[in-house]
Amino acid sequence: MSLWNRTTRFFILFVLFLGVGLWLNTGHESKVAAETAVTQADQNNPIPEFTSQGFAITGAQHWAVLMCKFSDVSSEPQTKSFFENMFERTTGPSLHNYWREVSYNNITAITADAHGWFTLPKSRAGYSFSSATAGFAVEDIIQDCINVANPSVNFSLYDAVAVMLNSDSPVAITTLWPLSYPDGAVIQLGALAIPSNKYNLALVAHEMGHAYSLPHSSANGNEYQNPWDVMGIASSYRCSVNADPIYSCLGQHTIAAYKDYLGWIQPAQKYVAPMGTHTITLERLALPQTNNYLMAEINAGGTTYVLEARQRVGYDTKLAGDAVLIHKVDDLVDPTGAPYDDEGAMWKPGETFVDAANEIEVHIDSATATGFVITIKNGSEPQVNATLSANPTTPAANEVVEFQTKLTYVDGNSGTVAATVSVTIPAEMTLVPNSVTTTAGTIISQNPPEISLPTLGETAVIITYQATVNGAITDPTPITVPVAVEWNSQTSNFSQVIIANGTAVYLPLITR
Ligand SMILES: [Zn+2]
């Protein structure tokens, strides 16, 4: 198992430490009540606020599954092989097969050794654990279970710990609290406590998502209610679809934002929409068959839209339909409100999402065999801007004029574009030999002036050139100097006018 960004991880543990105190003092009751009402699934200590700076979860993970009994409950609900197969079997649904599919094999293997049953030093009441109350002393249970298992378990072999309990609870809990692991074990993932009524794949996958530091996703701002994400609605969602006879409810995939956060979406498969209108193809998030984009991001006035394609294949078979989904990072956008797996949440061919305030439109053009073609309009069009100047602006015959063209390219995303600049020297003037210079790019031709700019961006490129007014011009004569910029298969034309032999008649502020 490898995990990048270890320093950040420890920082987050520290934040969590502060958060738990706050949670115990203030938010505990309402948080638990909300969670119980929605899913009866789990209850987590506060998870760090989601940001795009994630941890890369890759490689093989070896889990220690510790089976622990409360001192007042004698039952041993399952065997070691039940749990080991749940984690690591390669035939049939398992956590190994689930996370490999979800991570595009970035997680290469999940294996587990089950140990137990061990007996905890306290009763259920001693840990505030009951089948009626959503919440228990999770750190105490897991630490005590580690301690009673320690004589027979070498923790240095493992990357993570899951504790299986022998009594029912309305919730399972994952903690990122820094526990004390024996045997010099370095364990960076969160630890799970799973009650006996929660031994199903969807629920344990959800808790493992927390162990990887994922928070809950939401729908229209409602935490837990995102049916398109194992980190939204997990074990209570459409469990009858694609269920396993042994491990019952299977988890759906997690959303694109979380896969990106965990380092599973390669930069080449992540589209960041530039300004303007562009058409791309999104590949489905589960079992992709092409190298098309797995996600598209549109940055919009303080938020980020994440677009993804979902089809009912693999662990996504349980989904309500095939569609493009739109999230504000990890918050599903559903203009028609709950339920969040209806047509309002599913963007299908012919439909258009509009965020008028941010000048954003997403049109679903068509379906492909394994995805969707979409057209994204992001704000105004990108453009090449030019500022032209000349010195002097009212030259006399035979006088040399120095021209300057200052170019920038703006697409709202600090992008760059390849451009070719062509200057036309008019018949009334003669280019001064070798007078063309540029602050960037390559001069292709001195006469006529032509400059190649491979990466024109927001930093101005300044091109200068000199030309002499023909001696035959004796009357005031306007002279137009055109500058053409080719970029993105289009041409932007600029020009400026100087007045040879200009007088106050033409330019009253300038006297010659
Ligand atoms: Zn949870």
Q: What is the pLDDT of residues 203-244, one digit of tens each?
A: 999 999 999 999 999 999 999 999 999 999 987 899 999 899
How many angstroms does the Cα of residue 144 sit away from the middle of ligand 1? 22
Give distance in angstroms: CA of 319 to centre of ligand 1. Answer: 19
Q: Length of the chain in residues, anyone?
A: 512
Looking at the fold, whether 187 and 118 belong to one and the same domain comes out as yes
Q: Is residue 14 part of a domain?
A: yes
For the cut 70, the answer to whether the pLDDT of residue 16 exceeds it is: no
- Do 163 and 60 reside in the same domain of the chain? yes
How much of the chain, in percent, has pLDDT values that exceed 90? 73
Tell me which of 330, 345, 378 is where a domain ends. Answer: 378
Query: Is the four-CA dihedral 323, 327, 330, 333 of positive or negative sign?
Result: negative
pTM for the whole thing?
Answer: 0.74
Backbone φ and ψ for 50, nearest 5 degrees, come out as -75, 130
Asked if residue 367 has pLDDT above 60, the reply is: yes
Distance 167 CA to ligand 1 centre (A): 19
**β strands within 293-416, DSSP E:** 295-300, 303-310, 323-328, 331-332, 352-355, 360-368, 371-378, 383-391, 400-410
Q: How close is the Cα of 209 to the center of ligand 1, in Å?
A: 8
Q: Identify whether the C-beta of residue 161 lies closer than 8 Å to the C-beta of residue 150.
A: no
Cis peptide before 448 (omega within 30 of 0): yes
Rounded Cα gap, residues 86 and 56, in angstroms: 24
CA of 37 to the centre of ligand 1 (A): 13
Q: Would you say residue 224 lies in a domain? A: no
C-alpha 218 – ligand 1 centre gap (Å): 11
Is the domain of 391 the same as that of 301? Answer: no
- The arithmetic mean of pLDDT across residues 325-343, rounded, is 97
> What is the model's pLDDT at position 50?
56
Position 248 in a domain: no
Asked if 124 and 34 sit in the same domain, the reply is: yes
Does 349 share its domain with 419?
A: no
What does the pLDDT average to over 244-253? 96
Q: Which domain holds residue 493?
A: 383-500
SS3 state at 224: coil
CA distance 450 to 444: 5
Ion ligand 1, residue ranges at CB < 5 A: 42, 44
- The residue type found at 321 is G
Q: In a 10 Å sphere around its CB, with 0-12 CB exposed, 13-18 middle and 19+ buried, how is residue 304 labelled?
A: middle
Any idea what the CATH number is for the domain that residue 455 is in?
2.60.40.740
116 found inside a domain: yes
Q: Any idea what DSSP says for residue 26?
A: I
- Same domain for 87 and 143, yes or no, is yes
Neighbouring C-beta atoms of residue 88, cutoff 10 Å: 20
Q: Do both 405 and 374 map to the same domain?
A: no
Ligand 1 geometric centre to CA of 244 (Å): 22
Distance CA 31, CA 352 (A): 36
Is 249 within the bounds of a domain?
no
Within a 10 A sphere around the Cβ of 75, how many other Cβ atoms?
A: 11
Task: Name the residue type at position 192.
Answer: L
Domain presence at residue 404: yes
pLDDT confidence tier of residue 17, bands split at 50, 70 and 90: very low
Q: How many angstroms is it from 193 CA to the middle of ligand 1?
A: 12
> 55-69, 93-107, 143-157, 387-401: which range is least confident on average?
387-401
Distance of CA 42 from the midpoint of ligand 1 (Å): 5
Q: What's the total number of domains in the chain?
A: 3
